[in-house]
Amino acid sequence: MSSALDFTDVVVRRDGRDIVDHVTWQVSEDQRWVVLGPNGAGKTTLLQLADTLMHPTSGTVTILGETLGRTDVFEIRPRIGFASTAMARRIPRDETVLNTVMTAAYSVMGRWNEDYEGIDERRARRVLADWKLEHLSERLFGTLSDGEQKRVQIARAVMTDPELLLLDEPTASLDLGSREELLQLLSGYAASPTTPAMIMVTHHVEEIPVGFTHVMLLREGGIVAQGPIAETLTAEALSEAFGMPISLSAEGGRYAARAVSA
Ligand SMILES: Nc1ncnc2c1ncn2[C@@H]1O[C@H](COP(=O)(O)OP(=O)(O)OP(=O)(O)O)[C@@H](O)[C@H]1O
């Protein structure tokens, strides 16, 4: 199985501090990773490296076989899907859901005046159906609920058939029903053999979709633990990452954590 992502001794230094601290990490194309850690642990910075938006201060970042610094990032970027709140802010509020997803094929944020091939529209409608959005295809993006907007962001990110999919807190700020609905969709997507390597950042073990295979726990830019979820996600590792005693329970592939009272 070839590597989607290969980080070797990666450091990102800002203001004299290593916000990514000697990270060595490999993601193969059949793996679905969760990157977990407290605020400021460096999760988003790792995703920005993986999306070629940032170069490391030292170390080597290889994405889909191409090494940053030795390759044209504009060649790699179309091969990566990235859904985040920061990117969603750039989606025009008065764009229809269909166009928001369809325009991903052209890596532009608005419809402008291109002539779209029927094939793109057919693919966009299929992706909308996959993410339970077909009934909203003519609605304006700005009129959607948070949960619907998150699903549109992901649909847009998968529209281009990426070889690596990055999700920055896809279930943050969702109500219970919307969160559970999205987690189910993510589980279904993760289970398909045609799905690319996935990396999802979250703060909460409750937001790990069933079927995700690997976890990285981060604290202050450094790796506390990484590996297959079943053996790596432990109360000890969580306690170290979050800097407090935490108990962990697991049921049916889902996790729950809480602080241990003194
Ligand atoms: N350009 C920068 N200059 C200085 N510090 C930075 C810069 N970018 C990020 N940082 C710091 O690096 C640390 C890691 O930031 P990052 O956004 O990757 O964390 P995170 O784990 O995604 O946090 P959160 O969960 O709050 O989103 C934070 O302390 C942040 O303040």
Q: What pLDDT score was predicted for residue 111?
A: 47
pLDDT > 90? residue 112? no
- How far apart, in whole angstroms, are the C-alpha atoms of residue 22 and residue 58? 9
Q: What is the mean pLDDT of residues 151-156?
A: 94
- How far apart, in whole angstroms, are the C-alpha atoms of residue 181 and residue 203? 18
Work out how many domains the chain is built from and give that number. 1
Contact assessment for residue 153 and residue 173, using Cβ atoms and an 8 Å cutoff = no
Q: What is the mean pLDDT of residues 50-61?
A: 96
What is the full DSSP assignment across 34-91?
Answer: EEE--TTSSHHHHHHHHTTSS--SEEEEEETTEETTSS-HHHHGGGEEEE-HHHHTTS
**Token duo for residue 251:** 């049921």
Q: At 31, which CATH number?
A: 3.40.50.300
Q: What percent of the chain has pLDDT over 70?
A: 95
Cα-to-centroid distance, 38 and ligand 1 (Å): 11
Tell me which residue has its CA closest to atom 6 in ligand 1: 14
- How far apart, in whole angstroms, are the C-alpha atoms of residue 257 and residue 142? 34
Q: What pLDDT score was predicted for residue 103?
A: 85
Tell me which residue has its CA closest to atom 16 in ligand 1: 42
Q: What pLDDT score was predicted for residue 89?
A: 85
Q: What is residue 222's three-state secondary structure?
A: strand
pLDDT > 80? residue 107? no
pLDDT > 80? residue 110? no
Query: Residue 117: pLDDT band by 50, 70, 90 thresholds?
Result: low
- The whole domain housing 160 covers 3-259
Mean pLDDT (the chain) is: 92
pLDDT > 50? residue 161? yes
- Report ipTM for this prediction: 0.97
Q: What is the mean pLDDT of residues 196-210?
A: 96
pLDDT > 80? residue 116? no
Q: What is the mean pLDDT of residues 2-23?
A: 96
- How far apart, in whole angstroms, are the C-alpha atoms of residue 165 and residue 127? 15
Helices (H), the chain: 43-50, 73-76, 85-88, 97-102, 118-130, 146-158, 176-191, 229-232, 235-242
Residue 201 Cα: closest atom of ligand 1: 22
